[in-house]
Amino acid sequence: MKRVLVLNGPNLRRLGTREPDVYGSSTFDDLVALCRETGRRLNLHVEVRQTDDEAEMIRWVHEAADERLPIVINPAAFTHYSYGLRDALAQRTAPLIEVHISNPAAREEFRHTSVVAGVATGTIAGFGMLSYVLALQAMADLLAQEETTPS
């Protein structure tokens, strides 16, 4: 079973109470359960983490690069300004999928630019919690392709 990190940035632990009109009523615990269940179905060992601390997020990304772990990441506010996170993600050694619950392009103008997107394998946004399911499905497919592609 392939290990996948699902990393979440600032304020995502407040899901369910934070702007439910934007992020829905599901809680962070609901998100964790959804990701783990989706992972089990896809034969992935999913580890879900959340931090409001940019330095901690960067340490997790370094860990993933060192261990060749694929990442699904919702950088949250870090998406729009964290060049430190972007530079850490550029060191990736496995697939990286950027995910967002809402569609940043349909929100405030400052949310339209992602400094992460340029180093990600792909981005999935705007489907609510389903964005994570889609990202994990895409990750499972990418990992399966890697296994069948000769080196």
- Catalytic positions, please? 23, 100
Instruction: Kindly tell me the number of DSSP H helices and DSSP E strands found in the chain.
Output: 5, 5
The two beta strands, 2-8 and 44-50, are parallel
CA distance 39 to 54: 26
* DSSP bridge partners of 7: 49, 73
Q: Which residues are annotated as a binding site?
A: 74, 80, 87, 101-102, 111
CA distance 118 to 120: 6
Specify whether the backbone of 68 is left (phi greater than 0), alpha (psi in -120 to 50) or beta.
left
CA distance 148 to 131: 26
Q: Which residues are annotated as a binding site for substrate?
A: 74, 80, 87, 101-102, 111
